[in-house]
Amino acid sequence: MSDQLASIAVIGTGILLAILGVLVTIFVASGRRDARRRRGEPVIGAGDRGRVESDAASTASLRRRANASLVAIDDALRNWEQELGFAQAQFGSRAAAPLQAAVATAKGRVARAFALRGGLDDAAPSSEARVREVATEIIRICHEVTRDLDTHAHDFDSERAAQAHTPALLDELSRKGRLLGARSAAARRTLEALAHSYPAVALAAVSANPDLVDALADEAAASVAAGRDALAEADRAAAAAAARAAQSAVDRATGLLDDVDQLPAQLQDAASHLDAAVAVLREEIARAEQLAPADPTVGSAASAATAALAAAQDARADGDLVSALRAVTQQRAELATALATSRERAGRAEQARSRLTELLDQTNARIGAVTAYIDTHRDAVGADARTRLAAGVRHADQALAQTDGEPEKALMAAATAARLVGEAQALAEHDVATAGGNGPQWLGGASPGSSGSAELVLGGVLVDQLLRGHGRGLRGRGC
């Protein structure tokens, strides 16, 4: 028995010592944290330690990226300096001047990036936040410099490709230039045929096009010849420039010929569409006079539209139908723009009138019903209900007077009238219920509120009965 007690005592002592050890550990850790706080040092727990390790890893990765970007852009700048020399030799100093300026700017920005990187190697250690900030800025600078230089690389690649294809392009432009002469002769014949059916003013916009095309064809031929001479002297840059000049001349001449080719169809369309366009513009002018007779902006647009109508009438006889149609269409669009605000206002007014008619009918019917109700219970209904009813009648009359000129204000007045009549109904019914048949309540006693929902629902039922013939006749209001 004594042995068992001894064993129990030993176990208990061990457990007690373990508990004391845990408490001491907690006390020591707490004391260390308190000491750190007193010294202003950060206290790092298990979760904080994980975040710090993660931040350190991400900062190291960001720094490696910045270092790699600096090495890459430094190598790229050395290559670009060589590329600049090639470009100056191939395209000339003037053509390579933009690239030269871009390389100089890039070198300045990269030098700044290296200066930022050098700041991280100073004796004083940088914080994690500062390292990330600097590394991010270095990466950004390197990215932007690469992007800017790549833009110039694309331009010179395109120029090299153009020079490589210059011989074939000059041959193609020579062929197109010869075709311009044939198309120019066909355009002259088209204009001569149209002159038998349309006045000269209708053809004036394109009548000089064949002569202009002939001049442009000569200009293209001269540029092609200059380009071939430059190729013979191995001056590909000059040959490419001559090819571009020839291309521009051919494109302009082609556009002028297309205008002549499209003219017959345009004249036919103008003749068939002008009458319809004139009719629509007349309607717009009438609408402007109706909606905004005093608006100066609308008035100015309407005057211009009227002048366009007059010009269209003259064009039917011996004028330019295409220009007349274009002018009528343009004036219609400008007048519609000027009328936009007035149209919107008119739309709101029409909507207000539509709602106003229904609301006034309902309000007048309710006025008649409440009037009949007060007549029936005149000894019980006090001054409050009668005052609200009189105000409702006054606002209803005001709404009716404003219906034509100011429908939106009239709608507001009608809404006020409907509210006042509803309040008068609720007050009258409250007076009757309060009186209980025991005598008049001239001042109304305690008010039930201006428009309590329960009273209004009850009032609606009573007035509805009156409207269906269960009350006395209505005085001065139809229902």
Q: Are residues 398 and 341 part of one domain? A: no
**Secondary structure of 40-89 in HEC code, one letter for each residue:** CCCCCCHHHHHHHHHHHHHHHHHHHHHHHHHHHHHHHHHHHHHHHHHHHH
Q: Is 252 exposed, middle or buried (0-12, 13-18, 19+ CB in 10 A)?
A: middle
Domain boundary among 210, 229, 263: 263
- Structural domain boundaries enclosing 381: 358-470
- What is the domain count for the chain? 5
pTM exceeding the 0.85 threshold for the entire prediction:
no
Task: Tell whether 106 is covered by a domain.
Answer: yes
Task: Tell whether 405 is covered by a domain.
Answer: yes
Q: Are residues 377 and 462 part of one domain? A: yes
Nearest to 456 by CA among 432, 423, 479, 478: 423
Task: Tell whether 477 is covered by a domain.
Answer: no
Task: Tell whether 124 is covered by a domain.
Answer: yes
pLDDT of residue 3: 52
Describe the crossing of helices 407-435 and 321-376 by its angle, rounded to 10 degrees. Answer: 10
Task: Tell whether 475 is covered by a domain.
Answer: no
Q: Are residues 205 and 251 part of one domain? A: yes
Q: Are residues 393 and 325 part of one domain? A: no
Helix, strand, coil tally for the chain in percent (to 5): 85, 0, 15
Q: Are residues 109 and 63 part of one domain? A: yes
Domain boundary among 163, 179, 207: 163
CB burial of 27-60 (b: ≥16 within 10 Å; e: otherwise) equals: eeeeeeeeeeeeeeeeeeeeeeeeeeeeeeeebe
pLDDT of residue 32: 44
Q: Are residues 159 and 73 part of one domain? A: yes
Q: Are residues 65 and 27 part of one domain? A: no
Q: Are residues 110 and 200 part of one domain? A: no
Domain boundary among 220, 240, 263: 263
Task: Tell whether 45 is covered by a domain.
Answer: no
Predicted confidence pLDDT, tens digits, the chain (479 residues): 445 545 545 455 555 545 555 454 454 445 444 544 443 434 444 443 344 344 555 888 888 888 898 898 888 888 887 777 766 665 666 767 777 888 888 888 888 888 888 877 764 566 788 888 888 889 999 888 888 887 776 666 666 666 667 788 888 888 988 899 899 999 999 988 888 877 777 788 888 999 999 999 999 999 999 988 888 887 777 888 888 888 899 999 999 999 989 888 887 777 777 777 878 888 888 877 777 777 787 778 878 888 887 777 776 666 677 777 778 888 778 878 877 777 777 777 777 777 888 888 888 889 989 999 999 998 899 999 899 999 989 988 988 888 777 888 888 888 898 999 999 999 999 999 988 754 443 333 334 444 443 344 333 443 344 334 333 333 344 43
For CA atoms 133, 139, 145, 148, the dihedral sign is negative
CB 380 within 8 A of CB 431: yes
Task: Tell whether 31 is covered by a domain.
Answer: yes
Q: Are residues 158 and 65 part of one domain? A: yes
Q: Are residues 34 and 75 part of one domain? A: no
pLDDT of residue 23: 52
| Alpha helix ranges (H) inside 233-381 | 236-291, 296-318, 321-376
Q: Are residues 93 and 155 part of one domain? A: yes
pLDDT of residue 36: 40
Q: Are residues 289 and 228 part of one domain? A: no
**Secondary structure of 21-49 in HEC code, one letter for each residue:** HHHHHHHHHHHHHHHHHHHCCCCCCHHHH
Task: Tell whether 51 is covered by a domain.
Answer: no
